[in-house]
Amino acid sequence: MIRPRSVAFVAIVFAVVYAIAYVIAVWKNVPVFTYHPIAGTIGLGVEKPHDGPAMYWFGWMSTAAIAALAACLVASLVPERIARRLGSAWAWAVPVGVLLFFAYLLRGYFLR
């Protein structure tokens, strides 16, 4: 059975890894799949647009989800005495940093 502090540890790891993996997936364009909404088809990895636009957003989320779930699996095995060392502030500090990074990444839209 997972102890309460370990649940907190896993939740913090999820927030941190999901946010970081998502921003990297967007920044480096690493989607698990590409969705072509007009054709209604899905292709593995990055595919160029054909028959209309290509959507990577769902693929980026999936990339981040895979990374975060893998990290949570590892985190659930970490002994509680080590899990206790991770401060709860990471759960919001990293996502806030990611929000700011996205604002920086997309600054071109606002500075034209």
Partner 1 sequence: MFIVLLIVHGLFAVALLGAITHQAVSTWLPGQRQAGSFTGRFRGVSAAGYAKAIVVLYVCTAILGAIIYPEFRISIRGVLDELDAPAVMGAFELKEHFAVVGLAVLPAYLYFWRLPLADEYRRTRMALTAVLAFITWWNFLVGHVVNNFRGYAA
Sites of contact with partner 1 (CB under 8 A): 7-8, 10-12, 14-15, 18-19, 22-23, 26, 35, 37-38, 52-53, 55, 57-58, 60-61, 64, 68, 88-89, 91-93, 95-96, 98-99, 102-103, 106, 108-110, 112
CB of 69 to partner 1, least distance (A): 11
Q: Which of 19, 29, 96, 18 is nearest to 57 (CA)?
A: 29
CB of 45 to partner 1, least distance (A): 19
Contacts of 62 (CB under 8 A, 6+ apart): 31, 32, 33
CB of 68 to partner 1, least distance (A): 7
Closest to partner 1 by CB, 44 or 96: 96
Report the chain's C-alpha Rg in angstroms.
17
